[in-house]
Structure 1
Amino acid sequence: MTYRLHRPESLHALVREMVTRAGWTEAQAQETAHHLVLANLSGHDSHGVGMIPLYFTSLADGNLKPDAAPVTKLDGAPFLIIDGQVALGQPTAREAVERAAKMAQDGGVAIVNLLDAHHIGRIGHYAEIAAEAGLISFFWVNVAGRPPIVAPYAAKEARFGTNPHAIGIPVPDGEPIILDFATSRMAHGKARVALNKGVQVPPGYILDGEGKPTTDPAHVFQHAIPDLPLGALLPFGDHKGAGLSLIAELLSAGLMGAARIDEKPQKSWIINSLFGVLIDPSRLEPDAALRRSRTESYLAFVRAAKPQDPADPVLAPGDKERAIRAERGRAGIPLDDETWSQIKAAAARYGIDAEQF
C-alpha cells in the first residue's frame, strides 16, 4: 500500500471547490470542507475527505440535491426538532447543534432531534461544537438508507447500522473531554479505508455473508465480492454495543418516524438522524474555576496510571485526536492511492484537476 501526504489547506481548497461546483453555496462548501479535513487531521480517515466520492455518487443518482433545505418542525425550548430533508449533512447538522446550543445557554438545557439529514460525518465534531459553547452534550445517531451492516449479539446477519454515540464535557479554559465511538467494533468507514489500502482487519471484527469470521473487509461492502451475500460488522462489547446501537436507532429516528434502517430504500446515500441533549454545566456548578479544578484533578489521576507499555501512555478521551491533529498539521494528511484516485475521479466530473491542489 502506498500513500501521499497532502497539506490540510490544499485538501480544504479542493473539497470546497468540488462542493461549490456541484451546486452548493460557499458557506455550505466551507463547512463541509472544514468538517471532512478536520476528521482526517484527527486521525479519523473513515469520516474524512474519502467520503466525497460517495456524496457525489448520491448526487449523480439524484438522491442528494443541492437545493434541499431543512425544515423546522418544532422550536419551543427546551425542544428543537428539524426535518433535514436529506440536505447536505455537515452544514445541516452544525446549524441544528448551534441552534440547540443557544437554547441551552438561554434555558439551561436543550433537546434536539435532527431527522433525515444526509451523512453528517464525525459525531465527535458536534460534541466539540457544544463544548466550545461551554456545554455538556450527549449525541446518538442512526445510519439508514443502506442495508444493515452490524450484527446483533449472537446473530449471524446484520440488523443495525454503526449507530455512533458521542459525549462532550467542556473544561473551562482547557481542552474538552470528547468521547466518540461507533457501536460496532469498527466504523464502516474504517473498513472502507482498509479495503482501499488492500489490508486485512483484525480477527473478531467481521462476519462474511455466511456468518463465518473473516478478516477481509470486502465482505461488508455490496458487490465487492461477486455472488456472495453481504456480511456484517460485529458490535463492540458483545451485548453492550448491540444494546446501545438499538437505543440509538430508536432515540434518533424510530420514535419520530424518521428513516430507519429496516424501512427505507437502499439507495446510494447515507441518511443520519441525530438525537442530542445539551446541558449548561454552570447550572450545576456556577463556579467555573471549581469545575475546572475538579475535572483536571481527576484527569491527572487517570493519566498517571502506570501504562502496560511505556511507549503507549494512558490517555483521556480526546487526547489522541489532539495529538494527531498537531502531527498531521505539521507533516500532512496521508491518503492511500485508491482513495486519492476516487477523489480525483469525482473532481474530474466537474472539470477540476485535483492534482492542482
Structure 2
Amino acid sequence: MVEYLNVPAETVRAQIVAILTAWGMDPELIRLTAQVMVETDLAGVDSHGVSMVMDYDSSRRKGKLNLHARPRVVRENPVTALMDADAGLGHPASVMAMELAIRKAKAAGVGVVAVRNSHHFGAAGYYAAMAAEAGLIGVVTSATRSINVVPTHGRTPILGTNPIAVCAPAGRNRAFRLDMATSSTAANKVRVYGLKGKQVPEGWVVDGNGNPIRDATEAMHTLRELDEGGLTPLGGTPAMASHKGYGLGVVAHILGGVLSGASFSPLRVKTQRPQDPDDLGHFFLAIDPDAFREEGEFEADMDEVIDVLHGAPRANPDQPVLVPGDPEAETRATRLRDGIPLPETLTAKIREVCEGCGAPYLLEGQRA
C-alpha cells in the first residue's frame, strides 16, 4: 500500500522554486514555471505538476535544457506571432505566448501565437484558462516529445499524446474548461499510476498484438521501448479505434508542431543526440467574443448552455451531471483546504533530486 503526504500548495511551490533555483534558472522564469506546476497539481492533473521534476532533471543533466533561456518573438503582425522558447522549459514561454495572444485578441478580435524550440509545458488547460480569465475563448494544442500512440490498425507507436484544451468564459457559472490528450490517456498518467502502486485501466496501453497491459511497470516499459505497442488513440484500441480520434491527434500536431516549424518526433529521433533539445511546438489562440456579439451576450448564452448540461437527468441521483471544468474546480478547492496528496514514492524521488542539486528538501505534510 502506497502512503501519501498531504502537502500545502505553498510548500509544493517552495519546493519547486528551491529546485529550479539550485539549477540556476532566472527568478522570473522560476516564478512562472512554479505557478503553472502548482496550479496543475491543485487542479488534480497529477501527471503534469510536481511529478515532472524528475523528467526535467533528467533533461537538465543531459544538457537538453537551456536554464538561461530568453523566450523571444521572431515573427509578428497585428494578429499573429511566432515565438522561440530558446530551448528552455515550456511553461514561461507558454505563459508569455498566451499573454501575447490575449493582447492581440483584445486589439484585433483574435490573437494566434505559435511557439517553437520548447520543452514540456505542463497542462494545456492552464493556458486556455488564462484566456477565459481575460474574458476570451482560449484554444491550446501542443506537439509532444514522446512517441507512444499506436495509430489505427498499427502495431508500433508513431505519434504523441498531443493535447487539446479549450476554455470559454461564462457569466455566473465557472468557465467551461476542457483539457484532454488525444490518446486514451497521457503517458505521464501511466507513470503516476505506477507511483501510486495501481493497475492501469484496461484499454489505456496495449502490446503489439493489441492486448491490454494492466501492470503499470510493464506499461511504462512498453512506452519507453518505442518498439511494439503503446497508448491507444482516443476512441479505443488500435484494432477498433476511431480513426477520427487518431486524426485529432494529428490535427493537434499540425497546429502545435508543424505550424511553428518545431520537430516531428518520429523524424527527430532518427538524428537526435541525447543532449539535443526536444524542439517542441505549441499553439495558442485567443478569441474575443465581443468581436462577434454584443458585450455580455456570449457569457449569457454560455450560462444557459452550462445550466442545461447541469440540469440533465442524472443516471445516479448521488452523482451530479458534470461539465468540463467541474472536477478540476472541486479538486482545487479540496486541495487548497487539505493539501496536495503526494505518494511517498514520489516524494522519495524528489528528495533524490534535491540531494543531487543541493536544494533543500521541503515536502513535509500530514499523512493521508
With the length of structure 2 as denominator, give the TM-score of the two structures. Answer: 0.90
How far apart are the structure 2 equivalents of 1:135 and 1:297? 18
Say whether the 8 Å CA contact 2:137–2:289 is kept in structure 1. yes
Q: Secondary structure at the match of 1:52?
A: helix
Match of 1:118 in 2: 119
Q: Secondary structure at the match of 2:351?
A: helix
TM-aligned CA distance change 1:143 to 1:220, over 3 Å = farther
TM-aligned CA distance change 1:271 to 1:325, over 3 Å = farther
TM-aligned CA distance change 1:209 to 1:197, over 3 Å = farther
- Equivalent residue letter for 2:317: P
Quick one: which of 282, 286, 292 aligns to 1:274? Answer: 282
Report sequence identity in percent.
32
| TM-aligned CA deviation for residue 134 of structure 1 | 1.4
How far apart are the structure 2 equivalents of 1:306 and 1:270? 46
Query: Within 5 A, what are the aligned runs for 1:1-357?
Result: 1-144=2-145, 146=146, 148-172=147-171, 174-209=173-208, 211-222=210-221, 229=227, 231-237=229-235, 238-265=242-269, 267=274, 271-288=279-296, 290-355=297-362
How far apart are the structure 1 equivalents of 2:316 and 2:63? 51
TM-aligned CA distance change 1:228 to 1:260, over 3 Å = closer
Q: Secondary structure at the match of 2:153?
A: coil
- Equivalent residue letter for 2:357: Y
With the length of structure 1 as denominator, give the TM-score of the two structures. Answer: 0.93
TM-aligned CA distance change 1:292 to 1:254, over 3 Å = closer
> Which is further off, 249-258 or 6-15?
249-258
How far apart are the structure 1 equivalents of 2:150 and 2:86? 28
How far apart are the structure 2 equivalents of 1:119 and 1:300? 35
Say whether the 8 Å CA contact 2:4–2:342 is kept in structure 1. yes
Say whether the 8 Å CA contact 1:151–1:234 is kept in structure 2. yes
| TM-aligned CA deviation for residue 352 of structure 1 | 2.4
Give the number of aligned pairs.
Answer: 353
How far apart are the structure 2 equivalents of 1:138 and 1:157? 30
| TM-aligned CA deviation for residue 351 of structure 1 | 1.9
How far apart are the structure 1 equivalents of 2:285 and 2:234? 24
How far apart are the structure 2 equivalents of 1:189 and 1:115? 22
Q: Secondary structure at the match of 2:294?
A: coil
| TM-aligned CA deviation for residue 173 of structure 1 | 6.0
Q: Secondary structure at the match of 1:125?
A: helix
How far apart are the structure 2 equivalents of 1:328 and 1:350? 28
> Which is further off, 186-195 or 211-220?
211-220
CA offset digits 1:296-337 (Å, max 9, x no partner): 122111101122122221111111100100011111111112
Segments of structure 2 that go 5 or more residues without pairing to the other structure are 236-241
How far apart are the structure 1 equivalents of 2:58 and 2:292? 46
How far apart are the structure 2 equivalents of 1:241 and 1:348? 43
